[in-house]
Amino acid sequence: MTAEKTERTGAEEIAWDLSDLYAGVDDPYIEQDIATTDARAAEFAERYRGQMTALSPEAFYEAIVAYEELTESAYKLGSFAHLLWSTDTGNPQYGALLQRITEWSARLQQQLLFFELEWINAPDDFAQSMIEHPTLVHYRHWLEVTRRYKPHRLSEPEEKILAEKAVTGRDAWVRFFTELMGNTRYPFDGEELTQSAILAKLHEPDRQVRQRAAQAFTDVLQEKLPILSYVFNTLAADKASDDRLRHYPSWISSRNLANEVSDEVVDALVQAVTSRYDIVARYYALKRRLLGVEKLYDYDRYAPLPAAEGRYQWEDARELVLGAYGQFHPQMAEIAGQFFERSWIDAAPRPGKRGGAYSASTVPSAHPYVFMNYTGQARDVMTLAHELGHGIHQYLSREQGILQAHTPLTTAEMASTFGEMLVFTDFMAREDDPRVRLAMLAGKIEDTFATVFRQISMNRFEHAMHTARRQEGELPPDRFGELWMQTQEAMFQGSVELTDNYRIWWSYIPHFLHTPGYVYAYAFGELLVLALFARYRKQGEGFAERYLDVLRAGGSDWPQNVLAPMGVDLTDLSFWQEGLGEIEALVSQAEELAQTTA
Ligand SMILES: [Zn+2]
C-alpha cells in the first residue's frame, strides 16, 4: 500500500502557471485593478442609475459593454484568488487574499445590482424594442434571460420581506438539515462513521459488510425519521406557498426556468427515461449472475466486480486523452494540448491542496485552468478527460464574452461528459483483458445509471411528494416511504430486492431540500451526450465541426437553439430514446463480455 502511494506518476511536477492572471499574491496589479474597478463602478452607477429607459439602443449597448468589463475585472480577481487558494488552502496569505476579494466583489455586486434590476423592471414595450434592435443583437440572449423571471417577481417591498424572512425560514431549515446530517455518526464495528464513510461500505466486496453497513445506516436514520419528515414537510409546504405567490404553474416550473428549458422538454425527458426502466432490470439481472448471488438486495447494487486495475503514468494519461480527442477533431487535441504545454493544469497532489477537480473558465481575456489531484488511477484519467472537456468548451465560448459564455446547468456538463465518452471508448478499444473490460464497462454503466435512471426515479419521487403535500397536507413518515418505494420499485422492476430498510432511504438525500427539482438536470446532460454520441457514430466527420460550433456558442442562446444545428429536437421523445439506446448497447456489450469471461 505504501509502496503504491509513493510510486511516481510523473504528475508530481505538474503545476499551473497563473501569471496569465496575476504574477503572484503580491502582484501590485491586484491593488491597482481593485482601485480602477471601484472607480469605474462608481462612474458607471453615477452615469446610468435610474436612466435606463431614457437610453438609446446605442447608449444602452455602450452601457452593457461597460457592465461586462466591470464583471470581467471582478471575475479575473476572483478567479485568481480562488485558484491560488485551491493549491494551498493552509497558506494564510492566500486565504486572506481570497477573503478580501470575496468581500470586495460582494460590495461591487451590490453597487452594480441596479443595472439588472432596472432592466428586469423596464416596461415590456421598451424591453422588446431593445431585445429586437440590431445594435443589441450580440447581447440579445443575455437580455432575454435576465428578464425571464419578470412574471414571477413580486413588488420591491414584497421581495425584500420574502428575502429577509427566508433567512430564518427556508434557509434556516436547510441549514438545520445540513448540520444535523453532517454531525450524525453511524456506529460500525466500534467506530463512529460519517455518512460518506458508512455509505462507502456499500462498495465493499464483502457482502456481509455491505449488509451490516446498510443496517447501521438505517438504524440511525430511523431514529431521526420524525425530525427528517418534519423538515421535508415544512420545506415542501414552503415551496408550495412560494410557487403560488410567484404564479408558477407546477412544482417544477421554477427549476425549468432556471435551467432554460420548457416544461414540455422536461416532460419528454422523464417520459422517455421511465419508459426504458427495462434496461435497469436487464443490467441488474446480469450483475446478480456475475456476483453469483440468488437475490440482489439493495445493499448489493454497488458491489464491485473483481478485476485487476492498471496504473497510468501522467504521460500515458496525456497521450490517451489527446489521442482520443484528436481522433474526434484535430482542433480538440490542439486546444487540449495547450493546457499541457502552457501549464494550464495543476495535477500534482500536494499537502494543503484541496480535493476534487474542476475547470475554471476564469475570464475571456485569459483562458481556462484545470485543477485536479492525479494519483494514477483509471478514474483519474477519466477525470482529466472530463475537466479538459469543460476546458475546451470554456476556451471556445470565450468569444461570447463573460455575460454569455456560461451555459445553463442542463448543457453545462455536455462537453465534459462527451469528452469522457471519447476517452472511454478509446480506452476500451485498447484494453484486451476481457475481465478488465467487463469491470470498466460495469463501472461506466453504473455511473450512467446513477446519473440517468436513479435521478429520474428521484424526480418521480419529488413529483409525488410535492403533489401529495399540496393535496393531502402534512405527510406522515410512512406516506413518504410509500411514495419512495413506489417510484423505486417502478425502476428496478423486481431486479433488485428492496428491503424494508430501504423505505426510509429518501430521508437523507440533500438535493430534495437544497435545490428542489435539481436532479433531472443530471439525466438531461448525460442523455443529451449519449444521443449526440450515437449521432457522431452514424454521421462521422461533419458531426465534429457542428459540435465545435455548439461549444463555441456557449450560453449565447437558449439550449434548444444552440443545439438545433445538430438536428436535435429536445421536445422529441425519439431524441431521448437515442441516448437510452446507447445505454442499452452498453448493457448488451456487458452481457456478451460476461459470456466470454464465464
Ligand atoms: Zn463537470
Q: How far, in Å, from the CA of 208 to the mean position of ligand 1? A: 34
- Strand ranges, E, within 487-588: none
Contact 184, 216 (CB under 8 A): no
Residues 6+ apart with CB under 8 A from 186: 192, 193, 194, 195, 197, 198, 216, 217, 220
Residue 6's pLDDT is 56
Q: How far, in Å, from the CA of 413 to the mean position of ligand 1? A: 5
Q: How far, in Å, from the CA of 414 to the mean position of ligand 1? A: 8
Q: How far, in Å, from the CA of 537 to the mean position of ligand 1? A: 23
For cell 491597482, the residue is: 32
Q: How far, in Å, from the CA of 441 to the mean position of ligand 1? A: 20
Q: How far, in Å, from the CA of 596 to the mean position of ligand 1? A: 34
Q: How far, in Å, from the CA of 206 to the mean position of ligand 1? A: 31
Q: How far, in Å, from the CA of 383 to the mean position of ligand 1? A: 9
**Looking at domain 18-155, which CATH architecture does it have?**
Up-down Bundle (1.20)
Q: How far, in Å, from the CA of 362 to the mean position of ligand 1? A: 15
Q: Quick check: helix, strand or coil at residue 297? A: strand
Cα separation values, 496 from 282, 286, 488, 493, Å: 11, 11, 10, 8
Q: How far, in Å, from the CA of 433 to the mean position of ligand 1? A: 29
Which tens digit of pLDDT belongs to each residue from 400-444? Answer: 999 999 888 888 889 999 999 999 999 888 888 888 889 889 989
Q: How far, in Å, from the CA of 415 to the mean position of ligand 1? A: 9
Report d(CA 148, CA 254) in Å as an integer. Answer: 11
Residues 6+ apart with CB under 8 A from 33: 73, 76, 77
Q: How far, in Å, from the CA of 386 to the mean position of ligand 1? A: 6
Contact 573, 268 (CB under 8 A): yes
Q: How far, in Å, from the CA of 390 to the mean position of ligand 1? A: 7
Residue 304's pLDDT is 87
Q: How far, in Å, from the CA of 319 to the mean position of ligand 1? A: 21
For cell 419512495, the residue is: 484
Residues with Cβ within 5 Å of ion ligand 1?
A: 416
Q: How far, in Å, from the CA of 387 to the mean position of ligand 1? A: 6
**Closest by CA position to 110, among listed 31, 53, 42, 165:** 42
Report d(CA 461, CA 456) in Å as an integer. Answer: 9
Question: pLDDT tens per residue, the chain (598 residues)?
Answer: 333 445 799 999 999 999 999 999 999 999 999 999 999 999 999 999 999 999 999 999 999 999 999 999 999 999 999 999 999 988 999 999 999 999 998 889 888 989 998 999 999 999 999 999 999 999 999 999 999 989 998 887 888 888 888 888 998 999 899 889 988 999 999 999 989 899 989 999 999 999 999 999 999 999 999 999 999 999 999 999 999 999 999 999 999 998 889 999 999 999 999 999 999 999 999 999 999 999 999 999 999 887 756 789 999 999 999 999 999 999 999 999 999 999 999 999 988 888 888 999 999 999 999 999 998 888 899 999 999 999 999 999 999 999 999 888 888 889 999 999 999 999 888 888 888 889 889 989 999 999 999 999 999 999 999 999 999 999 999 999 999 999 999 999 999 999 999 999 999 999 899 889 988 988 999 999 999 998 898 887 789 999 999 999 999 999 889 998 888 888 888 889 999 999 999 999 999 999 987 6
Residue 598's pLDDT is 67
Contact 371, 346 (CB under 8 A): yes
Q: How far, in Å, from the CA of 389 to the mean position of ligand 1? A: 8
